[in-house]
Amino acid sequence: MGQQIALQCAMHGYQVRVYDIIPHMLETAQHRVGEYVAGLQVSNRLDAEEAQSTLERLKYFEQAESAAQDVDLLSESIVEDPKLKGEAFARFNRLCPSRTIFTTNTSTLLPSKFAKATGRPAQFAAFHFHNPVWDANVVDVMPHPGSDPELVPLLVAFARSIGQVPIVIHHETASYVFNAMLGGILTAAVGLAADGKVSVEDVDRAWMGATKMKVGPFGIIDLIGVDLTYHITTRMPFYKKMMPAGKRVLNFLKQYVDQGRLGIKSGKGFYDYPDPAFSRPDFVMGGDLTNEKR
């Protein structure tokens, strides 16, 4: 998501600095951004000149000191661990200009959990994007109790400047707005499959057939990442209280993680990519049932 956020900002004219504590991940990021840009060109979202200028606005840094110089806004997209996030922000608090606004793209954590650790809680809020950023162009703007009231309108204006629809959440709430609704759907879908009541494919057929959407719950999990979904699920109180049903759900997801079937990013998840079964014209009607793994 950090790569997508960086690209979205660069596409809208901003100079962007990308930093990762692991140097080889910067190479991966640069490669993936190139793939995203190529795809946007194929779909006529960017022409050759726009693509080139966008890539030129993106710079990659191995040194935090260099990445932090003269930045106006910092967007963080690291692992969902409040301690690690707090440590990262504390480091950049020492390096960034005093004016720099700090934002977190966390999907599951409340910003107040690590606001103090940022060193500048008044200039800190959640600024949460959706995947893929340029299509699912909704961003949640969620302050914590210590955020400066003037921070929200600044982030709303910035969101609009990069082609996003800002959704302002006035009080901290887990999962924001869309994710709160989506979480209920995905929880139900995984529960049905984990209990053996229905196949992964038929869960998606039911959803796609009724809603006429192009992807079902398990296709969405592949997009999010099966490993991230598993990680988030382990933190959900429901699964800690509702045993053994919760354990069956965790074990169901874990078997895919253990096999390296992490979703689109690994080429395999609940479906195989780049040609997942749900994208075929006959999928909803039950085509190619003999090839189903479950």
Which pLDDT score is estimated for 70? 95
pTM, entire model:
0.82
Residue ranges of the chain with pLDDT lower than 50? 290-294
Dig out the tokens for 288 from the structure: 């190619």
Does 293 reside within a domain?
no
For residues 154 and 193, membership in a common domain is answered with no
For the chain, the 3-state helix, strand and coil shares in percent, each to the nearest 5, are 50, 10, 35
Type of residue numbered 97? P
Total of domains in the chain: 2
Does 19 reside within a domain?
yes
Cα distance between residue 129 and residue 123, in whole Å = 19
For residues 127 and 226, membership in a common domain is answered with no
In terms of Cβ atoms closer than 10 Å to its own Cβ (0-12, 13-18, 19+), residue 50 is: middle
Look up the domain containing 192 and give its range. Answer: 178-281
Which pLDDT score is estimated for 231? 84
Type of residue numbered 234? T
For residues 26 and 135, membership in a common domain is answered with yes
Q: Which of 110, 141, 168 is the last residue of a domain?
A: 168
For residues 164 and 187, membership in a common domain is answered with no
For residues 6 and 152, membership in a common domain is answered with yes
For residues 142 and 199, membership in a common domain is answered with no
Which pLDDT score is estimated for 290? 43
Render 89-148 in DSSP notation, one character per residue. Answer: HHHHHHHS-TT-EEEE--SSS-GGGTTGGGS-GGGEEEEE--SSTTTS-EEEEEE-TTS-
Which pLDDT score is estimated for 241? 53
Q: Which of 134, 168, 202 is the last residue of a domain?
A: 168
Dig out the tokens for 217 from the structure: 């719950």
For residues 158 and 188, membership in a common domain is answered with no
Contact criterion met (CB below 8 Å) for 99 and 72: yes
Dig out the tokens for 178 from the structure: 């869309």
Which pLDDT score is estimated for 293? 46
Does 13 reside within a domain?
yes
Which pLDDT score is estimated for 247? 81
Render 215-281 in DSSP notation, one character per residue. Answer: S-HHHHHHHH-HHHHHHHHHT-HHHHHSTTHHHHHHHHHHHHHHTT--BGGGTBSSSBSSS-GGGST
- Beta-bridge partner residues of 16: 58
For residues 164 and 191, membership in a common domain is answered with no
Q: Which of 123, 149, 168 is the last residue of a domain?
A: 168
